[in-house]
Amino acid sequence: MLSAIKQPVPRIHYGVLCFDENGDLVWSREFTNLVVNQGLDYILNTGAVTGIAVYMGLVSGATTPTFAAADTLASHSGWTEFTDYTQTAYPTITWGTPSAGSMSGSAVSFSINASGTVAGAFTLSDATLQNTTGNLYSEGAFSGGNAAVQSGYTLQVTPTLSV
C-alpha cells in the first residue's frame, strides 16, 4: 500500500485593518483561508508542472539516504543516484488532468542492468543523466525501505503530485 507524505498546502494569509474617517485604527483581524479543490486544480494546471518537462531518476540504497529541503542537483550530500539502468536519459513524466488538488503521472519505467539496491526516486527539470545544473523538484525514500534489484528487472514508478 502506498502512503502519502503530508506536505503543507498553499494558503493565503490575510491581515485586515479598519480605519475610521480620522485615520485611527478601529479594529484588526487576520485569518488564513482554505484553498478549495478548484483552486488547487488551477494551481496544478497552470503552474506546477503543466507546460514544463519533468523527469525522474532513482536514489541509491547503498547507504541510508537522507533528504533536506536545501538539496539541489549539484549538492545532495545525504544521498547518491542509482544509475544501473539502460536509459540514456531520465524518463519523462506525463501528467494527467488535475482533480481534487491532485494530479497523477504516467508510470515511468527503468530497465535495470545490474544488481544493486534502490532506495527511492527524485524528479528534476533536465533529461541529461547525472545532471548537476537543472532543478531538483522532489526527492524521497520508499516507505517500505530499500529494495534489491537485479539485471533484467523493470521498475515502474507512478508519481502523484498533490497540493
The domain spans of the chain are 36-162
DSSP 38: H
pTM of the model: 0.77
Q: How far apart are CA 9 and CA 146, in angstroms?
A: 28
Please give the chain's pLDDT, 163 residues, in tens: 444 445 555 665 656 677 778 988 877 776 566 666 666 676 666 665 555 678 889 999 888 899 988 899 899 999 999 999 999 999 998 888 888 777 888 888 899 999 999 999 998 888 888 888 888 888 888 888 889 999 999 999 998 877 7
- pLDDT at residue 85, as a whole number: 94
Contacts of 29 (CB under 8 A, 6+ apart): 16
Contact 100, 162 (CB under 8 A): no
Q: Determine phi and psi for 87, rounding to 5 degrees.
A: -60, 145
In the three-class reduction of DSSP (H, G, I as helix; E, B as strand; rest coil), residue 160 is classed as strand
Q: Could you count the other beta carbons within 10 Å of the beta carbon of residue 101? A: 20
Q: In Å, how far from its chain's centre is CA 23?
A: 47
- pLDDT at residue 76, as a whole number: 92
